Every structure is written in structure tokens, then in C-alpha cells.
Amino acid sequence: MDCAGVIGYGHMGRMLVKGFLSSGALSPGEVVVASRSRESRDACAAAWPEIDVAETNRELARRCRTIILAVRPQEIREVLREIVPVLDGDEHIVSLAAGVSLGDLEALYPGPVTRVIPTITSTVGQGTTLVCHGQRVGTDDARRVEEVFSSIGDVMPVREEDLAAATLLSSCGPGLLAAIIEELAGATARASGLPPDRALLLATEMVAGTAAYLRETGRVPGDLVGEVATGGGVTEVGVAVLRERLPGVFDGMVAAMLERCGAVGK
């Protein structure tokens, strides 16, 4: 992959730089980082002394063939207006911003643009990064971006019209699941003498084990329910309560989140 620039060194920028370099997908000489925060630039230089840290976004843009925008959605347009004047037009812009469409990006930059939605679980090399390429992205550019992001987990190309829904599962999902783990552990601790910290540990390990079981056996969740929830047993009672109450809860949650997706980045 040609020299890749990362504009923004917050949580997401740090995760990407660490993942790309630690996996060997990119060498230090192939990465340039820029951030408006002096503190962030110093932190990057301290963590990765062999990579280049640009003083300005424009300096990075002049040097990189692939430019990853790891800034907040509200900052995307400002950053593009800043760097586009120094671009040749064949640089590949990769935006991580939710709520900023390909059309929004292409209105500001006439070259190839791609939307990428990573997930926090990529910090540990797990999870799925969503990729949506604009019409001006060639086969080689698409392949290079997908290859480098595959170094931090799985990559799934999606249509832009499906991106919001897919983001709820891949990127928002870890936060939702963490809240469910917390609530399950808390309810168990409140109803018993089990210490809260042990309940949380058991719930966390249970979720990790369940995900591994489904992935490695190829079974679907309904299969697992059938294997665990024997007739008249404890699990069957719990599953029945969930089947009765959760559909409405989740339908409301997803509707609210999709509505919010439409407002992000505006």
C-alpha cells in the first residue's frame, strides 16, 4: 500500500495506527499522522518514534496517497476544505465518520472516496469493519483499503443504504451488548448472594464462550437455545420471558438508533 496518512489521533486514530503497525500490514515508513492537538502529536511520536508526524493536515495530504480521516463527523467538511486544495485528485480519501454520506464527501472532493466504519473490538483484532466504496474508487484502491483494514479484524463490504443498519450491529453493538451483560449480571447478583464482581465475570465469560461456540460449530442461535433449554427446565423459563418482552424493546431501540443515525454529522 502507498503511504497512508491518518488525520486525527484520538481513540480511533490510535487504534488504527497500532493495529496497522502491530500486524505488519504497514511499516512505520508507510504511515504519517497529523493532529491539531500538540498533546496527541507528542503521544503518537512517543508511542511510535519511527513514524512521521506531520505538523499540519495539509503537509500530510501532500505526502500521502491514501488519507484516512479519523476525526469527528462534525469536523469532516472542515478538514476536507482544508486539504482538497493541495490534492492532485487521485488521492484516496477514507472517511470513518458516521452520518457523512458518500455524496457529502464527493461534493467536496472529486476523487475516490470510501466510507469505513471500524469497531472498538478491533483493538483486540476482533469484530468486523464495514467498507462502502464510492463510484470513483477503482479496483486496486478498493483492494488496498480492504487489505489494510483486514489487519485489524474482518472486513465486510456493504451498500451505503445498508450501512446505518449494519453499523448498529458491528460498531454500536459492542456497547449494546456490554449494557446487556451488565444488566444480566446485576439482576443475578440482586436476586442472589452472588457477589456483583463474580456475576459480571461469569456473564462476560459466558458471552465470549457463546460467541466462540456459535462461530466454531456453525450453529445458529436457535440451535443453541434448543440444546440448552430442555423442556420444563430453567433456561426454557428464561427464554420464554425474553421472547415475550424483548422484541418490542429491541424494535424500539433500533428505531431510535436509526433515527439518530440520520442526524449524526449534520
Query: Whole-model pTM?
Result: 0.91
Identify which of 150, 155, 132 has the alpha carbon closest to the alpha carbon of residue 1.
150
pLDDT for 49-88, tens place per residue?
A: 999 999 999 999 999 999 999 999 999 999 999 999 999 9
| pLDDT tens digits in sequence order for the chain, 266 residues long | 578 999 999 999 999 999 999 999 999 999 999 999 999 999 999 999 999 999 999 999 999 999 999 999 999 999 999 999 999 999 999 999 988 999 999 999 999 999 999 999 999 999 999 999 999 999 999 999 999 999 999 999 999 999 999 999 999 999 999 999 999 999 999 999 999 999 999 999 999 999 999 999 999 999 999 999 988 899 999 999 999 999 999 999 999 999 888 777 66
Q: Which residues contact 98 (CB under 8 A, 6 or more apart)?
A: 73, 117, 167, 171, 261, 264, 265
Give pLDDT, residue 3: 87
Q: Where does 101-195 have alpha helices with state H? A: 102-108, 139-149, 160-170, 173-190
Q: Which domains does the chain have, with CATH numbers?
A: 4-159 (3.40.50.720)
Give pLDDT, residue 119: 95
Give pLDDT, residue 232: 86
Q: How far is CA 73 from CA 38, 106, 243, 266, in A?
A: 21, 15, 37, 8
- Extract the C-alpha cell encoding 219: 450453529
- Rounded Cα gap, residues 221 and 239, in angstroms: 12
Alpha-carbon Rg for the chain, nearest whole angstrom, is 21
Give pLDDT, residue 231: 86
- Rounded Cα gap, residues 179 and 185, in angstroms: 10
Q: Which residues contact 184 (CB under 8 A, 6 or more apart)?
A: 203
Give pLDDT, residue 19: 94
